[in-house]
Structure 1
Amino acid sequence: MGGGDAGDATSKTRVVVVGGGVAGAILARSMQFLADVVLIDPKEYFEIPWAELRSMVEPAFSDRSLVKHTDYLTNARVITSSAVNITENQVLTADGNSVSFDYLVIATGHAYSTPTSKQERLEQFQQDNQKIKSSQSVLIVGGGPSGVELAGEIAVDYPDKKVTIVHKGSRVLEFIGHKASKKTLDWLISKKVEVLLEQSVDLDSISEGDGVYTTSTGQKISADCHFVCVGKPLGSSWLQDSALRDCLNENRRLMVDEYLRVKGRSNIFAIGDITDIPEIKQGFLAERHATVVIKNLKLLMKGTKENKLAKYKAASPMAIVSLGRKEGVAQLPFATIIGCLPGLIKSKDLFVGKTRKTLGLVSST
């Protein structure tokens, strides 16, 4: 593991990256030979988030979508722990490290409770897969992108299984337009997925033992197992008592300027889902955030003036949601399409090959 401790890298600018998701991983990799890079992440691996649901129906897929941080960070230090606080010039971690920084990039996105080791995560996918295989009926709680993609994966790979989605909203995929929602609902129904809208399931009272779930309207659903696909909390709670507490908005997102610097800070950036940029929170946009901040760090390290920094423009609403292996629904700035074309773009490989390439890994097919 390169990088060494603080003592031997004094001449190099230190860039500390908190969060090893899409944005953090790409940024740390790009900067590792230009600065003394330290990545702080509670997991020892990077997970390609949009491959998660495919890995549940095809566990073999997960081996390429989970990458140990040390595989792509050959010249950086990785601290496998959670960041718990920030002072003016240090990040404190749960395992007692305090890491000083010249530049800090916060990329903690959403808080996932996934295992620390890659091996345990692979085993988790195996267990999920067993759960799906051994069940005749599956209940999915939540009709956002994760719930819809999981339902699509199961409906296509196991057409004989009964899949039910319970969603508290008035339509599936509320984060995109009505037209895309409607087309997706029609597709799900055509695959015999039952979709119950404007209902919820009390997650605290669920037990899989009896196989009967009651919704908020009193409807009973029998299912052999269930998966919870509701929104994950933002990864910002650790900042609430930190030096950046005043930089969080009312939704607990970090407020950033046009250069993606945290408001009022000249050497702290935020990228990915944690930012208050008014756009759909998605992986490919997190990559774009990372690209802008990589440019800006390089410029600042050279002493470039502020007005020469790269600016980030919020993206127009665009999204592709996979529907099984071959189809998908895409909301593009000019049209909403469903079927094989969006499927070709995303569903076959779920951008895993492309993401591995971005991280400099030769894609093993």
Structure 2
Amino acid sequence: MSSKKTDDRKNVVIVGGGAVGQPLARILSRKLNPSTHYLVLIDCRPFQIFLPPALRLVTSDVDDLQTTSLIPHDKLFANGVGTFIEGKVISIQKGDSSGGSLTLENGDVVEFELLVLATGSGWEGPLNFPEKKEGVIPFIENIRQRIKDANDIVLAGGGCVGIELAGEIKDIYPDKNVTIVKSRDHLLTDVYPLKYRTRVEESMLNRDVTLVLNDYIDDIPTGKYDSVKTRSGKIIKADLVFQTRGGRPHTDFIKSLGPDVLTERGLVKVRPTLQLASYDDIYAAGDIVDYPEEKQLFTANAHFRVVIANIMAAISRKPLRVYKGSPVMILLTNGKRAGVSYFGILWGIIFGDWFARLVHPKSLLLWKARVLAGYN
């Protein structure tokens, strides 16, 4: 089956309905001329799993996040401009002169004049949500039960995922032993100043989280076990080990455009306009973009603003906007009422627990995400 319409409207297609693709679809549906263009959003699930509260979601049923953080795509499109297709894209075929088409796993073909790739990252461990919608709730319930049943939890990775998961576990189960194993001499990466990384470590230690630095867990044990061995030979008591290292870009299908489209890490090579290096009609945004910055929601939001402006400019044949990067910014929570934030402006500003309590970053961001998806 093909998505080719009986009218002459041209498709603007977005692949990926996450924190970039979902609001991008909402805003574009209001901006596109419904007499000349039609919007298509393609994603393997009929909802976005909003990641900022996802670690709280998989830890317990507090705040009923199972209801609110799975944000459906059913209210996205304004003015009858768009449609949602539930499916997985497996390849991209570029047209002879402009536009092209996408092939889905079920064999359907979707044509495009302009294409936005916003497929985000794939994660391991407690954020490795199934692609099929039917598997998401059982996955969440399984992770919650495993955390509840465990006494000694080890997190293999000391970036944002490991740190925030440790805080969420300590909020619900303060008596459980939680250990973070990090391959470097401090938590996080050296994108952040040492003074901030040290504050984050102090925040973890204040929750009785054990830190094992300059070490690595090569293999996550399976079945029943009572310990895990690190690369240095250290034995850590553990009846639950989660992989909490960084994500990997969801870009395998983009290789169909040619061998030079992706970097060795699987990131999409782009121009400053966020167009693909060799394709004027294809844009990329979010975690998959090859740009020297941290993969965060703040930067993703900056990407989709540029992409929206450039799609509208391309349609009207006006000059495109250039993405100039974003300041380093992070709101790292330690449970519901603690956290350490960093803003890479002026001399570099750090805020502690009071700021996390003031802004409630997870609930605030979730509220905004739901509004951007058409929910009040």
How does the TM-score come out when normalised to structure 1?
0.90
Report deviation, 1:156: 2.4
2:329 is the counterpart of 1:332: no
Question: What are the superposed Cα offsets for residues 217-249 of structure 1, whole Å, 9 maximum, x if unpaired?
Answer: 111122222221112221122222x22532323
**Where do residues 150-299 of structure 1 align in structure 2 (5 Å cutoff)?**
150-174=165-189, 175-203=191-219, 206-240=221-255, 242-299=256-313
Match of 1:355, SS state, is helix
Label 1:251 to 1:201 Cα distance change in 2 as closer, same or farther (>3 A).
closer
1:43 paired residue number: 45
Match of 2:359, SS state, is helix
Identify unmatched segments of 5+ residues in structure 1: none
1:27 paired residue number: 24
On the 8 A contact 1:39/1:79 being kept in 2, the answer is yes
Report deviation, 1:131: 1.7
1:83 paired residue number: 89
Distance 1:12 1:45 in 2: 26
On the 8 A contact 1:45/1:117 being kept in 2, the answer is no
On the 8 A contact 1:239/1:245 being kept in 2, the answer is no
The RMSD of aligned alpha carbons is 2.1
Match of 2:260, SS state, is helix
1:55 paired residue number: 57
Return 50-59 or 337-346, whichever deviates more.
Answer: 337-346
Distance 2:241 2:67 in 1: 24
2:118 is the counterpart of 1:107: yes
Match of 1:128, SS state, is helix
Report deviation, 1:51: 1.2
Report deviation, 1:28: 1.6
Distance 2:297 2:103 in 1: 27
Aligned partner (choices 308, 313, 318) of residue 305 of structure 1? 318
On the 8 A contact 1:149/1:322 being kept in 2, the answer is yes
Question: What are the superposed Cα offsets for residues 139-190 of structure 1, whole Å, 9 maximum, x if unpaired?
Answer: 1111110000000111122211111111222211114221111111111111
Question: What are the superposed Cα offsets for residues 297-327 of structure 1, whole Å, 9 maximum, x if unpaired?
Answer: 12222x2322xx2322201211111111011
Label 1:318 to 1:348 Cα distance change in 2 as closer, same or farther (>3 A).
closer
What amino acid does structure 2 have at the position aligned with 1:72? Answer: L
Aligned partner (choices 8, 12, 21) of residue 9 of structure 2? 12
2:376 is the counterpart of 1:356: no
Question: What are the superposed Cα offsets for residues 335-364 of structure 1, whole Å, 9 maximum, x if unpaired?
Answer: 1222221343244515111111122211xx
1:70 paired residue number: 74
Distance 1:40 1:200 in 2: 38
What amino acid does structure 2 have at the position aligned with 1:336? Answer: I
Match of 1:330, SS state, is strand
Distance 1:193 1:20 in 2: 35
Label 1:343 to 1:279 Cα distance change in 2 as closer, same or farther (>3 A).
farther
What amino acid does structure 2 have at the position aligned with 1:213? Answer: V
What amino acid does structure 2 have at the position aligned with 1:90? Answer: S
1:137 paired residue number: 152
Label 1:235 to 1:104 Cα distance change in 2 as closer, same or farther (>3 A).
same
Identify unmatched segments of 5+ residues in structure 2: 95-99
On the 8 A contact 1:271/1:289 being kept in 2, the answer is yes
2:344 is the counterpart of 1:344: no
Return 15-24 or 167-176, whichever deviates more.
Answer: 167-176
How does the TM-score come out when normalised to structure 2?
0.87
Q: Sequence identity, in percent?
A: 29
Aligned length, in residue pairs: 353
On the 8 A contact 2:298/2:329 being kept in 1, the answer is no
Distance 2:75 2:257 in 1: 33
Label 1:217 to 1:238 Cα distance change in 2 as closer, same or farther (>3 A).
same
On the 8 A contact 2:341/2:350 being kept in 1, the answer is yes
Question: What are the superposed Cα offsets for residues 86-141 of structure 1, whole Å, 9 maximum, x if unpaired?
Answer: 11111112221221100000111213442245453233222222222222221111
Return 255-264 or 213-222, whichever deviates more.
Answer: 255-264
On the 8 A contact 2:75/2:374 being kept in 1, the answer is no
